[in-house]
Amino acid sequence: MTVEGDLAGGSPELRIAVLLSGTGRTLENLNAAIAGGQVPARVVAVVSSRAAVRGNDVARAAGLPLTVLPRRRFAGVEEFSDAVYRALSPHAVDLVVLAGFLSQLTIPERYRDRIMNIHPSLLPLFGGHGYWGERVHRAVLESGMKVSGCTVHFVDERYDAGPIILQRCVPVLEGDEPETLGARVFAEERRLYPEAIRLFAEGRLRVEGRRVRILPG
Ligand code: GRF
């Protein structure tokens, strides 16, 4: 497959596909950031891996083309990934944004370093299989750490393991419960994810092995 869109010098309007499995807060936030002019991009497709989640309604309400591909109907990661990429192929997608997407994907060459995820911890801590939702924040509290945060990273074939783009810290406060810590982390996610997508849109992210260099604006 060929790579569509030329991002070398930054694209005026990045064409984004959003993949989700849950409440769609990340999609809502991205829509707001785009509408507010913080991200020079357009969401051209949404794929959901679950049939009855709030995120699907968020996509519909925003008038975005939605494809629902329930993960449990596919035998394995390969079959599911093929269906996802088939759904994206008519949309000339520049960047795939995982937004609370809980399924693993294969990464075809066409999408290498073109799929981003945000994780609600300071990776590589508290990431990997099983670390999602409230469990992440519960594990952070149990560890006794005094800081947590969020991480935007490029996606490779392993859970939460691709090259790190941006990270932001939040304090762990006395009396925190998973819910209060999670809310503090998500407030930071609302700023961090649009910032990372903007850097991508501006052609300012260069992957060098495990490191992502941020080029000057
Ligand atoms: C957040 O915890 C984020 O870090 C993770 O998914 C959660 C948001 O999901 N990737 P949603 O947007 O509310 O569905």
Tell me, what's the pLDDT at 12? Answer: 67
105 C-alpha to ligand 1 centroid (Å) = 17
Residue type, 60: R
Say yes or no to pLDDT of 105 above 80: yes
Instruction: Examine the pLDDT at 3 and tell me if it is beyond 80.
Output: no
Q: How far is the CA of 133 from the centre of ligand 1 (A)?
A: 7
Q: Ligand 1 pocket, 107 CB below 6 A?
A: no
Q: Whose CA is nearest to atom 7 of ligand 1?
A: 100
Ligand 1 atom closest to the Cα of residue 189 is 4
Active-site residue numbers? 119
User: What does each C-alpha distance from 209 to 2, 33, 163, 167, 213 come to in angstroms?
Assistant: 22, 30, 8, 18, 10
> Is it the case that residue 157 has pLDDT exceeding 70?
yes
pLDDT at 159: 86
Is residue 143 scored above 80 in pLDDT? yes
pLDDT tens track for 47-91: 999 999 999 999 999 999 999 999 999 999 999 999 999 999 999
Ligand 1 pocket check for 185: Cβ under 6 Å: no
Share of the chain above pLDDT 90, in %: 91
Query: Would you say 116 and 97 are in contact if contact means Cβ atoms under 8 Å apart?
Result: yes
pLDDT tens, 5-22?
334 344 468 999 999 999
How far, in Å, from the CA of 81 to the mean position of ligand 1? 20
